[in-house]
Amino acid sequence: LPLSLRMGKLSGRHLRKLPTPVCSLSTLQKLYISGTGITELPDEIGGLQELRILALDFNKLEEVPETLCRLPHLTRLYLGSNRLFGLPAEFSQLKTLRCLWIESNYLYHFPQVLLQMPELQSLQMGDNRLKTLPSGLPLMKGLRGLWLYGNRFEEFPKPLLRMSQLHILDVDRNKLTEFPDLSHLRRLRLFSYDHNPVEAPPNVADTVFVVGEGAQEFLEAREERLQALRQQKELQSEAGLLVASDSS
């Protein structure tokens, strides 16, 4: 299909509401409506049955309409910087959704409906009002990246200790004063904890890159330790070769 029939760009235009004719473009695969000032979406948006990417960030949306939850091929949804307090129960119908950005909204509670979406891989929830996470969070087995910066966590959420499949975890700018042992999270590759009142980096696996107060010293000390271990192994290997050659 021609690009113009597959992608719509309305970002930056001042719109009171989404023009209904846009919703009749049944072949549309990408639609960008960022920063337009819209406060609601028409029911007709459910007609965009081929849509893969929908960007609705930097608007004034107060709710996600049920009809948006009926887009059978949607993989990426950007809802950041709106006025959302939650997500509708029908949201779990978005079976193909892999990436959800819902940062800078008014989420006081983790939307329970997300626990019914085990295929979601990337969840951006920074700059909300979260204080806790649900015990059922590990049900989201597909989750690889979770951004929780700028929330109101005072204690490290225990459900995260069972998220063994996470690759990226960001808890910057919260009120965390200590961390539990995180060394069992073997798939973790990036852990960011900057701007928390915690005094020391957490105990993590050697494969994790950490970002935060004292992290640089921690990483340098770890690299020295790992280098010493590598040298020790090399010496042991050389010694073993010498013994083998002497015995022959």
pLDDT at site 58: 94
pLDDT at site 244: 64
User: Which residues make Cβ contacts (< 8 Å) with residue 237, sequence separation at least 6?
Assistant: none
d(CA 242, CA 248): 10
pLDDT at site 17: 79
* pTM value surpassing 0.85: yes
Q: Which two tokens stand for residue 93?
A: 């119908």
d(CA 208, CA 193): 13
How are the residues of the chain apportioned to helix, strand and coil, as percentages rounded to the nearest 5?
30, 10, 60
pLDDT at site 246: 62
The DSSP H or E segment spanning 210 is strand 209-211
Residue-wise pLDDT tens for the chain (248 aa)?
333 456 777 776 777 778 888 888 889 999 999 999 899 999 999 999 999 999 999 999 999 999 999 999 999 999 999 999 999 999 999 999 999 999 999 999 999 999 999 999 999 999 999 999 999 999 999 999 999 999 999 999 999 999 999 999 999 999 999 999 999 999 999 999 999 999 888 999 999 999 998 888 888 988 898 898 888 888 877 766 666 666 65
User: In whole angstroms, how large is the CA radius of gyration of the chain?
Assistant: 23
pLDDT at site 245: 62
Contact 151, 130 (CB under 8 A): yes
Which is it for the CA torsion 41, 46, 49, 52, positive or negative?
A: positive
Pick from 57, 59, 52, 5: which is nearest to 30 by CA? 52
Q: Which two tokens stand for residue 141?
A: 């087995």
pLDDT at site 50: 95
